[in-house]
Structure 1
Amino acid sequence: MKRIFNHKDFDIETEVDIGHDDFVYGNYVDWDRFRQECEIEILEYFEIYLPWGKEISIEEYFAFISQDCFTDSSMISDFSLDSLPVQGTADSISEIVIEFPRRNRDMISAIFDYHEVPSGFEQEYELPEELQYWPNIIEEEYDEYDYYMNNPI
């Protein structure tokens, strides 16, 4: 079953957008930077282990490619995971050793896209309410100036 990214499961650092007049326009998130800085945590969150550049057994290989993100997408063929080189010779199938490819940012990005990890740049109005500086709830309770005075940077 496909597991979807949930921003509430991560400590996402927002940046504050301040104008020349020192008025806070709101938060923003650079999701590409988040993806890069939290790559290991995100992969662990989805329980994906990528044995970059290592030799793996045939059993480990089949366990790897049977993960949802590979079986439910074209990543196996896109990244030539179906034609990895076999190391040496073996007397039995269980002794076959496969060399896993070196680190590939495009594969990581494809895995994150499959699990719907956001990418790009999102401004205040595009962010989930929990990440906003000026959450929509305050429109009914305060005006922006009062909220800003009570919650300065």
Structure 2
Amino acid sequence: MPKRPPANPDDRRIKATAEKLRAALDRLTDGSAEQSAASIRRLTVAALAREAGVGRNAIYANHRDILDNLIQARRRQSVPDRIATMGDTLAEQRGVIDNMQQQVRQIVTKNAGLLRRAIEAERRAERAERRSAQLTKEISALRGPAMLRTSSE
């Protein structure tokens, strides 16, 4: 059974507006709209009205079904946006982790150098203490009573 054309001009206008809005919603959700990338990412009533070339009030007043479709499209779009945001956050955190790992390697290298210097300093201190003890014994031996030689011997 063929469809009858709308009876009055208002019905024809509402139907034409609905077709414009559906086409605009398809373009916005497909990403083929002529708007900037930022407005494509934001599925709003204003962006839909701008893309379709109609007023926002027409959407609210006569096209609640298209408004519901817009809300559903926004929900579908928000999941990939959150995933993209998580991916960006993950990439940023990986960069921070790499930076921290590099800092840890630098600190470990510096710590190993300091440990080597401390061990060497302890060895030198032990040698100095042994030498000091040896010199102290020699001084004590030299300060002790000594036998004097007489010239007649």
Q: With structure 1 as the length reference, what TM-score do the two structures score?
A: 0.24
Greater strand fraction, Structure 1 or Structure 2: 1
By relative contact order (CA 8 Å, sep 6+), the higher-ranking structure is: 1
Greater Rg, structure 1 or structure 2? 2
Q: With structure 2 as the length reference, what TM-score do the two structures score?
A: 0.24
Greater helix fraction, Structure 1 or Structure 2: 2
